[in-house]
Amino acid sequence: MTIEKDDSFAAMFEREAAAPAKKRRTPRVGERVNGVVVQLGRDTVFVELEGRIQAFLEAEELRAEDGELTVKEGDKITANVVEVDESRGHIRLGRSMGKPGSIAALEQAKAAGLGVEGKVTGVNKGGLEVELGGTRAFCPMSQVDSKRIEDADAKALIGQSLRFLVTDIRDGGKNVVLSRRALQKQEASETVARAMTDIVPGAVLTGTVASVRDFGAFVDLGGVEGMIPRSEIAHDRSVNVADALKAGDTVEVQVREIKDVEPTRPGGSTKKITLSLKALTADPWAELSIVEGRVIAGTATRSTEFGVFVRLAPAVEGLLHVSELARGAKVGDGEEIRVVVKKIDRATRKISLVPAPEGAEVGTAVATAVAVKVGAVVSGVVERIETYGLFVQVDGTKGRAGRGLVPNAEVGVPRGTDLRKSFPEGTKVTAKVLETGEGRLRLSIKGAKDAEERADFEAARGRAGAPASLGTFADLLKGRKL
């Protein structure tokens, strides 16, 4: 509702006066009061105080730098009682007392903590010279602004009308000391208090990106700053903060958490507000159709010391662990690769991958476990040499599941032999399977040789031809003279 003429405010008071009389305490000048905005006029904002007492403020006091009002109907505000005219039933509120006309008014403003309006008339070495409705005053340079101000900036204030708090009055008003910084701090606290009434966990708010860092973005929520951590920017973890947000962007965010913290600087915030962008977007895991044991095409997004992250679907990544890659294998960012989904953990939102077999088509089912049995003899290639043995990749397999360890005792060479010379990487070997299981494939080159020698012995023995039967004792004596 908009009021074009201030005489409608008088009509409002007349209606209030016609209501049944009830005992109400009239606020005193200088008193700090809370109220609710009930109407917005062109030049006036009408407020209802406790006890249904009507009051008003000049709209100019509630306008932002762009001229827009900073309040709307229903908003709660805190202001000071500047004037009480009981004969007319008018109570005027203000963030300041305007231009005080006497030392008494300045004393009143000082006592009530009200701001006063003054015009900067000059700058000297110590601060600003200010004229307050005929009274000269002084604002020390350290109190001109909440931020450090240079001489050139101070001189630029000459001729401007600013608001200050009266901090000291001496010698009957001959020395009046002001502070703009203290008023800014007071108004900032009031702004924070108003904003915090709406900032609660789960609330969806609109803010402006104040700054962007590698670890997240800071958002101004109307005098209160919150942070969107990198993990809350998007469901896709590979998205960089700077690519998603820019300073000045208007964003809609959800409040995830509010914590009490120690301020990092004097007068700093005592609240840590965590915000989220991704909470307001669809969850890609909700309808994820990826199946364990299937070949899927993906795109490598980034490589780390523990493996390669592969994008499998929008905002969904899996990890191809470094142990699943051949020694020295490189996967470049942006490279298209085929992998097999080894395991999906929806609770922790983690997907384990293994390399897909050569020639495997997307969508086909592939066993991630190596189908070898204990006692079987397999062939493979030496992939890595360690002080405790050889790692052999079994032919026809990829990744850790098909990579077995041949301990030193099972290599079949004299103790002290240099394995790097006897079995350089890439050497083809034959080994016997001693043990199987997830990450527990143990092989024996010596065992394979023993099995081969035993097989050769059995074959030779078979070729020599053993008699079908030894016969009876009588058969042995037949033809002999006794």
How far is 110 from 103, CA to CA, in rounded Å? 10
Q: Of the candidates 212, 244, 240, 401, which has an alpha carbon nearest to the alpha carbon of residue 333? A: 240
pLDDT one-digit tens code per residue, 78-90: 888 878 887 777 8
The encoded tokens of residue 10 equal: 């008088």
Does 468 map to a domain? no
Q: Binning pLDDT at 50, 70 and 90, where does residue 255 land?
A: very high
Nearest to 355 by CA among 366, 345, 340: 340
| Total number of domains constituting the chain | 5
Q: Please indicate, yes or no, whether residues 33 and 114 belong to a single structural domain of this protein.
A: no
Amino acid at 465: G
- Same domain, yes or no, for 330 and 258? no
Same domain assignment for residues 181 and 211: no
Q: Which of 36-50, 93-107, 171-185, 466-480 has the lowest mean pLDDT?
A: 466-480
CATH number of the domain at 148, please: 2.40.50.140
Residue 360, in any domain of the structure: no
Q: Where a domain ends, among 74, 94, 114?
A: 94
Q: Do residues 81 and 107 both lie within one domain?
A: no
Helix, strand, coil percentages for the chain (3-state, nearest 5) = 20, 40, 40
Same domain, 8 and 88: yes
Whether residue 286 lies inside any domain: the answer is no
CB-hemisphere CA count at 13 Å for 218?
10
Q: Return the pLDDT at 138.
A: 94
- How far apart are the C-alpha atoms of 48 and 391, rounded to whole Å? 81
Whether pTM > 0.85 for this model: the answer is no
Specify the pLDDT at position 467: 55
Mean pLDDT, rounded, for 235-252: 88
Same domain, 457 and 382: yes
35 in any annotated domain: yes
pLDDT digits (tens, 9 = 90+) for 308-367: 999 998 888 899 988 888 777 788 888 999 999 988 998 888 999 988 888 888 888 877
User: Confidence band (pLDDT; 50, 70, 90) for 368?
Assistant: low
Residue 97: what pLDDT? Answer: 61
> In sequence order, what E strands does 237-314 have?
250-260, 271-276, 295-304, 307-313
Residue 369 lies in a domain: no
Same domain, 9 and 59: yes
**Residue percentage of the chain with pLDDT more than 70:** 87
- Residue 430 lies inside a defined structural domain of this protein: yes
Domain hosting residue 341, numbered range: 295-355
- Reported as a single tens digit per residue, the pLDDT across 189-225 is 877 777 788 889 999 999 999 999 999 999 998 878 8
Domain shared by 67 and 113, yes or no:
no
Q: 452 and 382 in one domain?
A: yes
Q: Are residues 341 and 386 in the same domain?
A: no
pLDDT, greater one: 472 or 278:
278
pLDDT score of 106: 86
Same domain, 385 and 455: yes
pLDDT at 146 over 50: yes
Residue 194 included in any domain: no
Range of lowest pLDDT (205-209, 249-253, 288-292): 288-292
User: Do 132 and 107 reside in the same domain of the chain?
Assistant: yes
For residue 282, pLDDT beyond 90: no
